[in-house]
Structures are given as C-alpha cells and as structure tokens.
C-alpha cells in the first residue's frame, strides 16, 4: 500500500515541477538573457562566499560550470530518486540512493579535476615558450601572455579564459593570474603568478624569468616520472594487497555461495565477516595514504 502512494506522490510532484518550470522559463527567458550579458562584463576574481561556494569551486576546477544555478532542481530530483529507491527496495534502496550518488559525484569531480590540472600543467611550458618568443619579438608582457592564451589548446585555453576576461575588464595581469592559480591550487601556477607579480612591481627581464620557470616545470615533471618509475613495484604491491581479499571473496560468492552464506547464518561467522570487512577497509585506507605520500 505504501509503494503506490509514494509513486502517486512522485508523479504529482513531477507534474507540478514541470508546470512550474514551463511558466518560469516563459516568464524569465528575456530577463535571464539580459542578466547573462551583464554578468559577462563583470570581473570574476573570487567566488562569493556563500554556503555552496565550495561546491561551485569544485565544479569550476573540474570544468563543469556552476551547479548552484539549479541546485533546487538537483536536490528535488535526488529526493525523488530516494523515494523511488525506498518504494522499490525498501530501506536498503533508500540508503543506497542516499549515500551512493554524492559519493560517486565526489569521486567523479576529483577525477575530472586531477586529469584536467595535469593536462594544464603539461601544456603550460608551451604557453610560456610562446610568451618568451613574443617578448623577444618586442611585444609587452600582457600582450604576449594574451596572445599565448589564444594560441594554446584546451583545457588550458578554456581555464585561462578567466584570466583573459579579467584583463580585458581592467584587472592587472598579475592579479588575474594569481586568482587563477588560487582557484586551481597548484604550486606551479602560483610560481607563474609570483613571477609576473615580481616583474610587474620591480621590473627585470621577463623572458629570462619565464625561461627559468619553463626549465623548473620540465625538471619537476622529469623528477615526478622518475619517482613513479622507481616506486612502481611498491604501488603494484599495494594494489595487489588491497584487491586480493576482495577478489577472493567475490570468487567464493560466485563459485560456492553456500560457503559464505553458511558463515553469515552463524553468529560467530557474522562477527568474523564483519571484522574482516572492517580490517580490510582500514588496511585499504592505510595503503591509500601510504601511496599518496610517495
């Protein structure tokens, strides 16, 4: 009886939501178009400190825009999915849809951010080399950096569009690059911003400074690759130790499910299995922390 009532409630809520979104879109299309044009003319040095600023920052760093513009809609859909899970699978479905979507989203955003930043840092020496050649041809530092941004490829070009837009609106180049470096939270980008700030304040040979930065980035990248090669055996051992118990448990469940189920039906077997899961989780966490420190 509870499941049909929940499904009927979900249908009514979705119907009301669709009607509300339709009239809202008809009413605010022109207003949103004007506001978007006005927002494009404003400097974007820092995100406003709101309750969801951390979420906006994570999505921007991953190249996925700002989710808070439709936060109410996403929360409503998540709530409806939780109700559907409860109606279909009971409390287990409710807990699964309550915990798994945020965890999966967090892992996906972290993966997108790491991959995007790694690619940006790989492209940075090419941008700096283009800037050095532009400086030696007689262009100013700001013009050289802007031209290098135009000549670069995504994802670095897409990320540096923030710098380009702020410079065009009157923000000086060192402050715009400093804001970009703080957003993506990488030491290499901070060194780039610091070099521009020192050159802007005290003068000096900007091309020589950028050439030294290119050399530093390439040496760090070479050192990181050597470290990965030297620690490959350790990382592979950690993966084997972390996955081997889980793979064995899955193998037993597939080939001989009664072996595991008989243990679960016995009270002492339940304690052993729960202890094994807890110890396996703690060991995997310890191995993960050790791998991150390498």
Task: Calculate the CA 182 to chain-centre distance.
Answer: 15
Distance in angstroms (rounded) separating the CA atoms of residues 115 and 222: 18
Report the range of poorest mean pLDDT among 47-61, 91-105, 215-229: 47-61
Which band of pLDDT confidence, cut at 50, 70 and 90, is reported for residue 285?
confident
Q: Where are the chain's structural domains?
A: 119-219, 238-293
CB contact at 8 A, 101 and 108: no
Torsion 258-263-265-266 (CA) sign: positive
- Res 280: pLDDT: 84
Q: How far apart are CA 152 and CA 120, in angstroms?
A: 10
- Give, in degrees to the nearest 5, the angle at Cα 93 between 91 and 94: 60
pTM over 0.85: no
Determine the pLDDT at residue 223: 82
194 exposure class (CB count in 10 Å sphere: 0-12, 13-18, 19+): middle
Kindly report the CATH class assigned to 119-219.
mainly alpha
pLDDT at 47 over 60: no
Q: Given the structure tokens 């955003």, which residue do they identify?
A: 109
């Amino acid at each position: 009886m509870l499941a049909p009532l929940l499904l009927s409630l979900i249908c009514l809520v979705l119907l009301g939501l669709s009607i509300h979104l339709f009239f809202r879109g008809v009413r605010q299309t022109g207003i949103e178009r004007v506001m978007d044009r006005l927002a494009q003319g404003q400097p974007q040095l820092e995100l406003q400190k709101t309750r969801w600023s951390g979420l906006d920052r994570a999505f921007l760093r991953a190249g996925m825009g700002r989710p808070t513009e439709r936060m109410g809609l996403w929360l409503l859909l998540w709530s409806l999915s939780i109700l559907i899970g409860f109606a279909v699978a009971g409390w287990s479905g409710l807990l699964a849809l309550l915990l798994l979507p945020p965890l999966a989203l967090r892992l996906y955003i972290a993966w997108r951010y790491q991959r995007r930043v790694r690619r940006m840092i790989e492209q940075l020496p090419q941008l700096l080399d283009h800037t050095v050649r532009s400086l030696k041809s007689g262009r100013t530092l700001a013009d050289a950096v802007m031209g290098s941004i135009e000549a670069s490829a995504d994802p670095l070009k897409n990320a540096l569009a923030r710098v380009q837009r702020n410079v065009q609106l009157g923000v000086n180049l060192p402050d715009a690059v400093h804001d970009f470096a703080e957003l993506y939270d990488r030491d290499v980008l901070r060194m780039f911003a610091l070099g521009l700030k020192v050159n802007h304040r005290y003068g000096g040979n900007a091309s020589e400074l950028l050439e030294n930065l290119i050399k530093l980035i390439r040496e760090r990248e070479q050192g990181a690759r050597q470290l990965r090669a030297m620690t490959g055996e350790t990382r592979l051992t950690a993966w084997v130790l972390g996955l081997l118990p889980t793979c064995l448990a899955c193998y037993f469940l597939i080939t001989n499910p009664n072996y595991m189920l008989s243990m679960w039906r016995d009270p002492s077997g339940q304690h052993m299995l729960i202890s094994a899961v807890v110890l396996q989780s703690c060991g995997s966490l310890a191995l993960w922390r050790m791998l991150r420190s390498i």
